[in-house]
Chains A and B, each alone.
Chain A
Amino acid sequence: MRIGIPRALFYYQYFPFWKTLFEVLRFEVVLSPPTNKEILEQGTKLCVDDACLPIKVYHGHIAVLKDKVDMIFVPRVISIEPRKYICPKFLGLPDMIRNSIPDISRVLDTELNLYKGKYNMLNHVLNLGKILKINRSRILLAYYKAIKAQMKFEDLLIKKLATPQELFDKKQNFILESQLLKKHTNNIKVLLLGHNYNIYDDYISMGLIRKLRKNKIDLITTEMVEKKYITIGSKQLSKDMFWTLGEKTLGTAFYYLENSKVDGVIHVASFGCGPDSLVGEILEKKTKKQYKVPILYLNLDEHAGESGFNTRIEAFLDVLEGRKYLEDNLSAHG
């Protein structure tokens, strides 16, 4: 039985977990190809037009997968940590897919809801097991292995300061740790903030990470930061942020800015993103007032032109380089 997983949205967060889980249960996992022009076009055509770019792209991935598999995994991701949500659109994602792609094959839309506690991950898996008619001990074994793979994944992101793609080979298996090369950098440290499904999708982020790596920028994303630091950073908020991705963004930003650990910040948001319209404002206000670090705001939508995008990134990196140069020389003389 082939199970399709769209290479979009929470693929970037949970793929090792789901892949391991389904493979241990002897399903064939079929991953859609990396986002490309056709996927984006299909997605834009099918999806309700007011949605944001990553949601449209998700629709596109479903479209290219749907006839190649027996069922598609579209979990209803309500919450991935206690007392926080992702976004109303994630809550309604399986519905949006069914509404907009009515001829879809079987949809596996098991709820993932850790709002009341992390242990609910097990419930998610047990429910999957029930629907797929798999006995409990096999499910528990798969769950155990999946958790291990997921933990390894999350640890490596932090330990190796790597992006998810850098950890996998073409077949989406972990590459050997010894092969994860240490990157040569020019000592300019940039905090790259934004939702994982945007910044790690090479096509919709117009190769942003590739470009930064090429410029030998020392890159930090929220996935590379230990939770405890994010928590410290987010203490600066006057009210608990109830969006996981928003809290990660702001917590990471404030922690690094407070400890003067970065030279520049890039904030990537989808055009029309609800949570980020407020998260971006909070980030901007506080940075302007308290920290003298340059920030670049990038908005992604299906019409964004790559050349303008590149120009802005280059100009920004120039600024950072100039500042670094001044700083180094001043301190050398001081």
Chain B
Amino acid sequence: MKITFPHMGNIYIPLKTIFESLGCEVILPPPCSKKTLELGVAYSPEFACLPLKINIGNFIEALEKGADTIVMAGGVGPCRFGYYGEVQKEILKDLGFNFEMIILEPPQGNFIDLLNKIRLITNRNNNGVKDLIKAIRIGWKKALLLDEIEKQLFKYRPRERCKGQTEKVYNSLVKEILNAKCEKELALLETQIHDVFSNISVIKNLTPVKVGIVGEIYTVLEPFVNLNIEKQLGELGVEVYRNIYITDWVRENLLPSFIRSQDHNIMLKLAEPYINCFVGGHGQESVAQIINFSKMGFDGVIHLLPFTCMPEIVAKSAIPRINQEHHIPVMTIVLDEHSAETGFRTRLEAFVDMLCHNREVKNNAVLSGN
């Protein structure tokens, strides 16, 4: 069995680790590229949302590399994601690929069940339940560490003296996490993260403009799709924050009936005056997070969504009112296969300029107030 699955940021690292430790061969799709996008666009329905198209590109590239089994998450609606797998399967079959597709349908078929099945069919007689638990623990730990180093990356990048240094540090840590074999190794890495980052030479006393990133989870998590927005903002001297990480996606989609944390519910309350009901995807979360960022004194928020994304269109309807009532600038960026060509950087620069200006005005007001 040569397993593959779609890319979404760093999620391939924990997944690869888990499958491999159960004795499966994993064939990763090459990192998302222009070619991935072109393949996806060529073979997907024209009006499907962007994640479906990029997935198709990933699958084609992985099948061409020799994968024979695709693992994909499913769902029961209300949004399109739950039906992605069915449609993708048909598209790939029509293209003549020979493969099996395992779609994890909640609640019967969750990720852990699948792993257990794999454990039983891989003919390694030393694959006990214990090994399975160990594999999952290592995978989860990796996911947590990846989230942590990403947070550090966002924090250090706008402050670095030497351009690109933070990213170098980050990339080498990603490699180490990818290659780590056991929990001990990971525990050791964890203790080092802080030191490694604090060795980066930074400009002291800098208070960068702070921008929160919210929106549809896939576009937030996959840098290829969001045109590396976090990096671009970092280069413009912005400190970026976000509230969605791969561990969140894993919790919601791969683990059995996970009970959402208390914090999450408290945060959702913030959305109530604007969106008083679950609307699929992360529509409600986006609204709650914008308000939350405003309460935390952020300078601005960027709201990301794929073209025609339903939950985020509902969220977008709330933005003018939030803007008025919470006084926080929000820029919405709609992403599709053409977004790279449409003066993206210029728009980001203009937004950041405005935030810097706002901040000066505010500071001056405070100064003259004294």
Task: Report the separation of the CA atoms of residues A87 and B318 in the bound assembly, to the nearest whole angstrom.
Answer: 18
Q: Is residue B310 contacting chain A, with contact meaning CB distance below 8 A?
A: yes
Known contacts A87-B78, A88-B78, A242-B76, A281 near B277 by CB under 8 Å: no
Partner of A273 from the list B47, B277, B314, B334 (CB cut-off 8 Å) is: B47
CA distance A55 to B309 in the complex (A): 14
Bound together, the chains give a CA A51 to CA B87 distance in angstroms of 23
Chain A residues near B90: list those with CB within 8 A.
281-282, 285
Whether B283 lies near A92 (C-beta < 8 A) is yes
Q: Is A76 an interface residue (CB 8 A)?
A: yes
Which of B82, B276, B314 is A89 in contact with, Cβ under 8 Å?
A: B314
* Chain A: CB-nearest residue to B78: A85
A243 at the interface (CB under 8 A from B): yes
Closest to A272 in B: B308
Q: Does B94 have its Cβ within 8 Å of any Cβ on chain A? A: yes
Tell me which residues across on chain B come within 8 A of A238, comparing CB atoms. Answer: 86, 89
Q: In the complex, which residues of chain B have a beta carbon less than 8 angstroms from the beta carbon of A78?
A: 277
Cβ–Cβ contact A87 & B310, under 8 A:
yes
**Which one of A37-45, A95-103, A309-317 is at the interface?**
A95-103
Give the nearest-CB partner of B94 in chain A: A285
Report whether B79 and A274 are in contact in the complex, using a CB–CB cutoff of 8 Å: yes
Q: State in angstroms the CA–CA spacing of A122 and B186 once bound together.
A: 56
- Bound form: Cα–Cα A273–B45 in Å: 12
Q: Is the CB of A277 within 8 A of B78?
A: no
Docked complex Cα distance between A34 and B56 (Å): 42
Contact yes or no, B313 A50, CB < 8 A: yes
A48-B317, A51-B313, A99-B321 in contact; A92/B80 too (CB < 8 A)? no
Residue of A nearest to B44 (CB): A281
Q: What 0/1 pattern do residues 86 to 105 of B give for CB contact below 8 A with A? A: 11011100100000000101
Tell yes or no: B49 within 8 A of A by CB.
yes
| Bound-state Cα–Cα, A65 to B221, Å | 42
In the complex, how many residues of chain A place their beta carbon closer than 8 angstroms to a beta carbon of chain B? 40
Report the Cα distance A278→B77, complex, angstroms: 13
Is B275 interfacial (CB-CB < 8 Å)?
yes
Interface membership of A129, Cβ < 8 A = no
A241 to chain B, nearest CB (A): 7
Q: Are A88 and B49 in contact (CB under 8 A)?
A: no
By beta carbon, the residue of chain A nearest B315 is A92
> Are B277 and A76 interface neighbours, CB within 8 A?
yes
The reply to whether A48 and B80 form a contact with Cβ atoms under 8 Å apart is no
Residues of A close to B274: CB separation below 8 A: 95, 99
Q: Is the CB of A88 within 8 A of B45?
A: no
Cβ contacts B309-344/A at 8 Å (1 or 0 each): 111011011101100000000000010000000000
A159 and B29 alpha carbons, distance in the complex (Å): 54
Point out the residues of chain A lying under 8 angstroms from B280, CB to CB. Answer: 85, 88, 91
Contact call B334/A88, Cβ cutoff below 8 A: no
Q: How far is the CB of B269 from chain A (nearest CB, A)?
A: 15
**Bound CA span A102–B325, Å:** 12
Interface residues on B, range: 35 or more
Given A92-B283, A95-B318 in contact, is the A277-B47 Cβ separation under 8 Å?
yes
Q: Are B313 and A48 in contact (CB under 8 A)?
A: yes
Q: Is there an interface contact between B87 and A274, defined as CB atoms closer than 8 Å? A: no
Residue from the list B45, B76, B283, B334 in contact with A278, Cβ < 8 A:
B45
Q: What separation, in Å, do the CA atoms of A50 and B335 have in the docked complex?
A: 12
**Chain B residues near A50 (CB, 8 Å)?**
305, 307-308, 313, 316, 334
- The CB with the most chain B CB atoms within 10 A, among A85, A102, A239, is that of A239
Encoded as 1 (CB less than 8 Å from any B CB) or 0, chain A from 78 to 90 comes to 1000011111110
Q: CA separation between A92 and B286, bound complex, in Å?
A: 14
For B37-48 the 0/1 string (1 means CB < 8 A from A) is 000000001111
- Interface-centre pick from B94, B310, B320 (highest chain A CB count, 10 A): B310
In this complex, what residue of B is CB-closest to A280? B45
Contacts of B46 in A (CB 8 A): 277
Q: Which of B249-281 contact A (CB under 8 A)?
A: 274-281
Given the complex, which residues of A lie within 8 Å of B48, measured CB to CB?
Answer: 277-278, 281
Do the beta carbons of B86 and A96 come within 8 Å of each other? no
Please give the distance in Å from B60's CB to the nearest CB on chain A. Answer: 17
Chain B interface (Cβ < 8 Å from any Cβ of A)? 45-49, 74, 76-80, 82-83, 86-87, 89-91, 94, 103, 105, 274-281, 283, 305, 307-311, 313-314, 316-318, 320-321, 334
Nearest 5 A/B pairs, CB to CB: A242-B77, A92-B314, A88-B280, A85-B78, A277-B47
New A-B contacts (20) at CB < 8 Å, excluding given A76-B277, A95-B277: A48-B313, A78-B277, A88-B79, A88-B314, A89-B279, A92-B317, A99-B274, A99-B318, A99-B320, A237-B86, A242-B77, A242-B82, A243-B77, A275-B80, A277-B45, A277-B46, A277-B48, A277-B308, A281-B90, A281-B91
A sample of 9 inter-chain contacts (CB < 8 A) reads A47-B317, A85-B280, A88-B78, A88-B79, A273-B308, A274-B310, A280-B47, A281-B45, A281-B48
